[in-house]
Structure 1
């Protein structure tokens, strides 16, 4: 596994950041039994994997159909990721992901199955949002070898499994880390994501302006 694939996996870990979905999942799943929680977690994580796989396989085709160059998309995606990183490092406000308060409803849970919220808002956009989708398209569009494209999809599968484990351990993670611990993790992830965003922006600028090489 070369450095580029490691970078892709790291980007997925930082962007999806299951710890950010832990408080929402705990709030959503209160009053439900373990079987319903597992089913909701499986649906959410399957949605994350399907989303990553779809945009990895067809993202470049979408760009070509819209007439958008890869360089331009890299710059736009990098800027979006940098804004997300700034939010993670400051007050936690993420321009591409809603916060828990925005997604919490006062509607009684018995009127709404838990699985109904597993896809939206838990999986999309809380776990995989515009930033994650942009990253998948950016990395997959620069891959020509089917084997390397398969590695991107495999990375998505690994992250999805990691998300499932995190959601099922949500109560323990929350008790162990607390709000302070989760905030610290989000800020560390934000710093890493900011560095990745700059790399993507620079790569896009070099694509648009070859003289920068």
Structure 2
């Protein structure tokens, strides 16, 4: 039961950070001139890239900490600040500029291959941006047992599958929710993200000062 609780907590947090619902309008915009089959192919490639990116950083995060001499507490504080900035922009119903810039949002207009569209800007940095990478690395670094580490990896896989499902049904989701509905969902994700960010900073300060 504790394992399921940990899984759901991390899944909910990572879902709020990646915010695949909020990415639906961007996905529709960058694939508007493509056939349904190619849209599905891009959705698959995007979800695979998100999954691989987060898995890689989850697995090599410990060595990155050691290489740069950064403690998990310092990383927690820095990550919390990044997430809080993202949450403020999401609370206003906008995609965070920490995740994607205006230039990156329109890069697909010059993209030559499906791989370019799927990887940039959809997978990186729109879905698996600095916030998602930081959080995944931090959760993995603070996991002390193989079960806890396995939960982190399983959540990343689950997020990848979720991204694929949502992007594959992007048109239907947009029709059901509409622009206002998606903005409401984005604000809700922003509120969850803000609470996560504050907690990360609190945990980092406690650990750094042994409070």
Q: Shorter-chain-normalised TM-score: which range?
A: over 0.9
Q: Indicate which of 34, 41, 55 corresponds to 1:39.
A: 41
Q: Indicate which of 94, 106, 116 corresponds to 1:92.
A: 94
How do residues 23-34 of structure 1 correspond to structure 2 at under 5 angstroms? 23-34=25-36
The equivalent residue for 2:136 is 136
Q: 1:99 to 1:172 in 2, by over 3 A?
A: farther
The equivalent residue for 2:207 is 207
User: 1:106 and 1:52 mapped to 2: Cα distance?
Assistant: 22
Q: Indicate which of 53, 63, 66 corresponds to 2:65.
A: 63
TM-score (structure 2 length as normaliser): 0.92
Unaligned regions of 5+ residues in structure 2, if any?
none
The equivalent residue for 2:80 is 78
Q: 1:101 to 1:91 in 2, by over 3 A?
A: farther
Q: 1:57 to 1:106 in 2, by over 3 A?
A: closer
Q: 1:93 to 1:18 in 2, by over 3 A?
A: closer
2:30/2:109 contact within 8 Å kept: no
The equivalent residue for 2:123 is 123
| Structure 1 residue 5 displacement after superposition | 3.3
| Structure 1 residue 151 displacement after superposition | 1.3
Residue range with higher mean Cα deviation, 125-134 or 22-31: 22-31
User: 2:186 and 2:113 mapped to 1: Cα distance?
Assistant: 29
Question: After TM superposition, which residue ranges in structure 1, 4 or more long, deviate above 6 angstroms?
Answer: none
The equivalent residue for 1:168 is 168
Unaligned regions of 5+ residues in structure 1, if any?
none
Instruction: Report the count of equivalent residues.
Output: 209
Q: 1:34 to 1:77 in 2, by over 3 A?
A: same
2:6/2:151 contact within 8 Å kept: no
TM-score (structure 1 length as normaliser): 0.91
Deviations 1:72-119 (A, max 9, x none): 0000001110111011012525131125675125847xx723332101
Residue range with higher mean Cα deviation, 169-178 or 99-108: 99-108
Across the aligned residues of Structure 1 and Structure 2, the Cα RMSD in angstroms comes to 1.8
| Structure 1 residue 3 displacement after superposition | 3.8
| Structure 1 residue 17 displacement after superposition | 0.9
Residue range with higher mean Cα deviation, 120-129 or 24-33: 24-33
User: 1:141 and 1:105 mapped to 2: Cα distance?
Assistant: 34
The equivalent residue for 2:179 is 179
